[in-house]
Structure 1
Amino acid sequence: MHAESREFITPGKARVHELAREFGVDSRTVLTHLREMGEFVKSASSTVEAVTARQLRERLAQRSSASGRRMTVSPSERAPEPFWPTHLPPPRRRPIDSYLRNWIDPEDKRRWISAGLGPHDGDLAAECTRTGITPEMLPTVVRGQSVLSRIRGGASLGSIAAVLREAGLQ
């Protein structure tokens, strides 16, 4: 993100790393200059007021005009190239399937979904498996209520497993 677009988003504030990119130097160089000016900045993601950024620009402009050329920077002080090319959007991350995250194979996932759990209830399916509740038990009615409706109603899986044990179904 360039400093111009940053000022549009939050007027009056500029991040240290954005100023460094603007000047073509490393963030540590800008941090050093800001500390010499008496500003308290901790890191490259710290923000500075617009007045401070303007003073820093003037200070660096004076140094470059005194030398008669643009501010020279050693290769070690140059800002590193961004990891991802700036002309391309960053890669999109796809969410991990909650069933796969819990090591539930596709066949078991199909069984859980056909029994009434949703496609994003992999964590719940894994907890049910750990407490001994199988997909075939979900439609079972015990004491006037199905296992699935007890789960959806917020009952703990441990209490549901206890009710199933009392009824001799587990």
Structure 2
Amino acid sequence: MSTKFFLYLEWKVSFINNCLDEIMRKWINHAFKWYYQQRYKDIQRYMDHPHEVQRALLRQLLDAAKHTEWGRKYYFRSVKTPEDFARQLPIQDYDSLRPYIERMMMGEKDVLWSGQVRWFSKSSGTTSSRSKFIPVPNQNLKQCHIRGTWDTMALLYHNRPDAR
């Protein structure tokens, strides 16, 4: 077989691969845009009904934490409203939480949050000279940090429909 044939064959395969790449890129972009449109509807609902969303979130968080040491101490099971929560849970500073957080850092479960918390964020120590460790449960990592990235993209695609 001639060299020209192999060059042609190589060009043809490259052309087909480029076409497939472009088709896949367009399909994937379309799928992401669809997801972002759906997610934007949720974000819009949060903006339209912030009080209801916040109440529902408080209820979910209290339900998740009611069996923890902290939840039992402050009777999370009996909290029905944000006002109940404010009445039953005194304002805390980091030093009052430090012993609980240290126990969590040693692997103890169900202290401030349900289950074992494996992630801790280190603060820069802006309110005191010492850094603080903030518990970051897996649920928080997924629902705040990771989802926040997706929500940012949903807002970008909503405000810039031509984005790719």
- Shorter-chain TM-score: which interval? under 0.3
Answer 1 or 2: higher relative contact order, Cα 8 Å, separation at least 6.
Answer: 2
Using structure 2 for the length normalisation, give the TM-score.
0.25
**Richer in helix (by share):** 2
